[in-house]
C-alpha cells in the first residue's frame, strides 16, 4: 500500500488495495486528495496523465500534469456534483469502482489518489478551471451541474478550448463558458436555473 494513502478504515483500505490501486496504474486522469499549505484541507488536485513528446527533455516517461484544484468553501459546495461524477467511474471490466465512498461524510479523512476515466477527469478539470473567477456560490454550482450534464465528447471539446490555444485565447474561451453555463455575475436567473437542475435529478 502506498505510504501516502491515509485516513482509511480496514474495509475501505481493503477495497482500495484490491480495486483502486490496480486501476491507478494506467488511469488517464487522477484525483489527488491531499493537503497544501495555506489551503483548507482536503485539497482536490485534478491531474492528467501525459505521454512525453519526442523533444521533451524533462519527462522521460508518462507523468501527471496538474489541470485544476478545488478546496475550501467552493469545494464543499460542489461536493454533491463531484461525488456524482466520480461515482460513475468504472474499472477495466466496466464495473463501478464506487469512488464516491472515499469522499463521503462531512469530514473527508481520505488522503491519496483516485483513478478517473477521461469523462470524469475532463469534467472535474473543467469545473475547477471555470470556477476560479466565480465568486457567487450559486453560479459555481450551476456551472458544475451543467458541466456534469455534458457528454464525454462535449467535455473534451470544451476542455480543449480553454487549454490548447494559448493564454489569451484560453482565457477568452473560459470567460465565455462561464457566461454560457452560469450567466452574468449577480444575475438572479442563475439561482432559478440552479433550483430547476436540482429538482430535475
Q: Is the pLDDT of residue 81 over 90?
A: yes
Q: For residue 61, give the C-alpha cell.
A: 516517461
Question: What are 153-163's pLDDT values in tens digits?
Answer: 999 999 999 99
SS (H, E, C) the chain: CCCCCECCCHHHHHHHHHHHHHHHCCCCEEEEEEEECCEEEEEEEEEEEECCCCCCCCCCCCEEEEEEEECHHHHHHHHHHHHHHHHCCECCCCCECCHHHHHCCCCCCCEEEEEECHHHHHHHHHHHHHHHHCCCHHHHHHHHHHHHCCCHHHHHHHHHHCCCCCHHHHHHHHHHHHHHHHCCCCCCHHHHHHHHHHHHC
Domain locations in the chain? 10-200
Question: What are 40-79's pLDDT values in tens digits?
Answer: 999 999 999 988 765 555 656 888 999 999 999 999 999 9
> Alpha-carbon distance 75 to 169, whole Å?
27
Question: What are 102-129's pLDDT values in tens digits?
Answer: 999 889 999 999 999 999 999 999 999 9
Average pLDDT over residues 157-180: 94
- Looking at residue 32, what is its pLDDT? 97
CA distances 93 to 23, 96, 164, Å, are 10, 9, 32
- Looking at residue 104, what is its pLDDT? 93
What is the share, in percent, of the chain residues with pLDDT greater than 70? 94
- Find residue 39's DSSP bridge partners: 36
Q: Locate cell 497544501: which residue?
A: 36
CA distances 28 to 65, 72, 115, Å, are 11, 26, 8
- Looking at residue 92, what is its pLDDT? 84
Amino acid at each position: 500500500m502506498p505510504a501516502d494513502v491515509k485516513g482509511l478504515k480496514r474495509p475501505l483500505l481493503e477495497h482500495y488495495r484490491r480495486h483502486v490501486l490496480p486501476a491507478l496504474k494506467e488511469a488517464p486522469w487522477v484525483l489527488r486528495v491531499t493537503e497544501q499549505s495555506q489551503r483548507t484541507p482536503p485539497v482536490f488536485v485534478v491531474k492528467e496523465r501525459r505521454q512525453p513528446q519526442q523533444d521533451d527533455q524533462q519527462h522521460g516517461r508518462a507523468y501527471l500534469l496538474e489541470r485544476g484544484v478545488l478546496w475550501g468553501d467552493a469545494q464543499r459546495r460542489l461536493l454533491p456534483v463531484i461525488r456524482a461524477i466520480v461515482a460513475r467511474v468504472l474499472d477495466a471490466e466496466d464495473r463501478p469502482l464506487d469512488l464516491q465512498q472515499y469522499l463521503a461524510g462531512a469530514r473527508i479523512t481520505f488522503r491519496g489518489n483516485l483513478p478517473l476515466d477521461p469523462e470524469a477527469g475532463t469534467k472535474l478539470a473543467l469545473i475547477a478551471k471555470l470556477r476560479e473567477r466565480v465568486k457567487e456560490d450559486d453560479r459555481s454550482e450551476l456551472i458544475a451541474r451543467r458541466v456534469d450534464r455534458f457528454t464525454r465528447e462535449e467535455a473534451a471539446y470544451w476542455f480543449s478550448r480553454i487549454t490548447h490555444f494559448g493564454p489569451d485565447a484560453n482565457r477568452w474561451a473560459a470567460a465565455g463558458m462561464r457566461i454560457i453555463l452560469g450567466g452574468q455575475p449577480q444575475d438572479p436567473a442563475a439561482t432559478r436555473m440552479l433550483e430547476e437542475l436540482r429538482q430535475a435529478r
